Structure 1
Amino acid sequence: MRVVSWNIHWGCGKDGRIRIHAIIDVLRRLNPDVVCLQEVAANHPELDGGATANQFKQLGGAFGGYHMMEHAPSELYKNNSPRLFGNLILSKYRITQVHRHLLPWPVEAGRPAGMPRGLMETVLDTPSGKLRLMTTHLEYWSALQRMAQVQRIRELHAEACARSRVFQPDPDLDAPYQLGFRPASAILCGDFNFAPDAEDYQALLAPIDGAPAFIDAWRAVHGKVARAPTTGLHGYPWPERPECYDHFFVTDDLASRVTTVDVQSETAASDHQPVVLDLD
């Protein structure tokens, strides 16, 4: 099973032009089973390069053999037309559930307001069984908001694990109640806007009562080898130096199955680099 996570910066490359086809070309070359994208836009002409197209539809249409799930926590309207900004999952595997969670957005005096953030969770039927896959894009400007979002992700994970322990199918229930099994085993990926060993990074990995803890997939494969940067390459003005903000985390029961975690550093199609995880 191959998963790619990538903050695509609405397809805006180093030259300031939007080239969604360049994003598509990279993804096709990587040949993933599941794609998790952040910073996908629709009807946002004010963004660099002019993101007027519906990129959710463009990307979904380019991968016709995949199932598409979208979550735009930022949903604004101008002249009754939606302007969307958020996350997208494409999956070759059958989907049995999707949950779209809004994350906390507490006010912090003296900081930019930021934007609504979300966690998209899906249950996939993979060749090795059911698996929860989650992707997110956490707050950049506010450490207070980002920590609140980390804690909420942990709460949602604990809740899902609790439900997995008590799940019993009941065909007598009405259809909306028959959500099916939601497993404890999970992959969590995205742009977390924290560097390795930051306070919120440590908080995410702390033990969780009644639930398998998250393990940094990079550490599971590479040990103490220095982490490849996922931002700050190809001459982008942000951040000030190369850094790793994009991560894969897996529940501890999956850690031994992770065979590959690699950063694809050669493309300049976004100000972030795609990250690839292989699970046997």
Structure 2
Amino acid sequence: MRILTWNVQWFRGLDGRVDVDRVLRHALDWGEQPHVIGLQEVAQHYPGLEGAGEADQVEQVRAALPGYEVFFAAAIDEWRPGRPTRQRFGNLIATRLPVLRVQPLALPYPADPAAPSMPRVLAALTVQAPWGALRVGATHLAYYSAAQRLAQARALVAWQREAAAVAAQPPAVGEEPPDTPFQPRPHAAEAVLMGDFNAPPHDAAYRELTAAAGGAPAFLDAWTLAHPGTPQPPTFRVHESGAQPVTCDYLFVTPGLAARVRRVSLDSATLLSDHQPLLMELDDAIGV
């Protein structure tokens, strides 16, 4: 099972060209037709983003990915007087696995008047993996505000802890008939969390996600599992002249998935975004 994450910078390459089809063709080819694709910085109707115009990139993604279901979680969803359309910006998950549940999560947005900022969101699904129900989440944490980024990381840890607790002790089955909101549903203890965390490995947000606080950590960095002793190469500003490359895009897994991590790859060559994509392969057969 292959999972790809990529901050696509509203599909704008380093040549300045915005082209959804071009980016997704590369994702499909390099990612070997991933089962799950998580994208960050997808825009709808944002002409202020260089080259984006009034495009609805969510619909363009749907058109470019036949055979995938596409789920968009808008961190920003707003209407400005005089505009004909709403403006939305956020994260997207496309998958060719059966989708059992859709549960996006707005992340904390504490006041930080010293930093430019915008709201953030977790796009989250429960999919039917070959071995059972699995949560997958794609997110993009605060860039300028360390306080907001840390609060968002803590919320992601809480998201995982709560879901694992509910999976261990699922709700009682009541007497309501089928096809009501109280009907039984799958609860997945394990999760893959991916995206642009805007946090190098020394950042407090990264440490929060991977800390062993009172037991097992909520998440493990899949790169370190697949490449022990080898730091993950930079994923941001790798090809920008005069810029300092940064490692901030990750694939995380919960501890119960650690044995399934077969490989993690980084495409350090592509120039189709200001970020580099990551691909993880999970073993279907472990524990079967």
Per the shorter chain, which TM-score range?
over 0.9
Shift of 1:235: 2.3
Q: CA RMSD in A?
A: 1.7
Number of corresponding residues = 277
Hey, what's the Cα distance between the residues in 2 that align with 1:173 and 1:189? 36
Residue of 274, 277, 280 corresponding to 2:277: 274
Aligned to 2:249: 246
Alignment TM-score, normalising by the size of structure 2: 0.91
**Equivalent residues of 1:158, 1:210 under 8 A apart:** no
Shift of 1:170: 2.8
Asked if residue 148 in structure 1 is aligned to residue 151 in structure 2, the reply is yes
The Cα offsets for residues 138-181 of structure 1, whole Å up to 9 and x where unpaired, read as 00000000000011111111111111111157373362222512
Q: What is the correspondence of 1:45-84 to structure 2 with a 5 Å cutoff?
A: 45-78=47-80, 79=83, 81-84=85-88
**Equivalent residues of 1:158, 1:211 under 8 A apart:** no
SS at match of 1:149: helix
Alignment TM-score, normalising by the size of structure 1: 0.94
Hey, what's the Cα distance between the residues in 2 that align with 1:134 and 1:241? 28
Q: What is the correspondence of 1:1-40 to structure 2 with a 5 Å cutoff?
A: 1-29=1-29, 30=31, 31-40=33-42
The Cα offsets for residues 71-104 of structure 1, whole Å up to 9 and x where unpaired, read as 0111121335111100110111101111111111
Aligned to 2:135: 132
Aligned to 1:193: 198
Hey, what's the Cα distance between the residues in 1 that align with 2:53 and 2:6? 18
Hey, what's the Cα distance between the residues in 1 that align with 2:199 and 2:184? 33
Aligned to 1:161: 164
Q: Which is further off, 185-194 or 79-88?
A: 79-88
Aligned residue type for 2:39: L
SS at match of 2:163: helix
Q: Which is further off, 197-206 or 88-97?
A: 197-206
SS at match of 2:245: coil
Hey, what's the Cα distance between the residues in 1 that align with 2:194 and 2:105? 15
Aligned to 1:261: 264
Aligned to 2:286: none
**Equivalent residues of 1:204, 1:214 under 8 A apart:** yes
**Equivalent residues of 1:162, 1:210 under 8 A apart:** no
* Aligned residues with identical type, % of pairs: 36
Q: Which is further off, 227-236 or 31-40?
A: 227-236
SS at match of 2:134: strand
Aligned residue type for 2:182: Y
Aligned residue type for 1:34: V
Hey, what's the Cα distance between the residues in 1 that align with 2:233 and 2:38? 19
Hey, what's the Cα distance between the residues in 2 that align with 1:228 and 1:111? 28
Considering fraction of residues, name the structure with more strand.
1
Q: Which is further off, 199-208 or 189-198?
A: 199-208
Hey, what's the Cα distance between the residues in 1 that align with 2:104 and 2:232? 30
When residues 83 and 123 of structure 1 are mapped into structure 2, their CA distance, relative to the original with a 3 A threshold, is same
Hey, what's the Cα distance between the residues in 2 that align with 1:236 and 1:118? 31
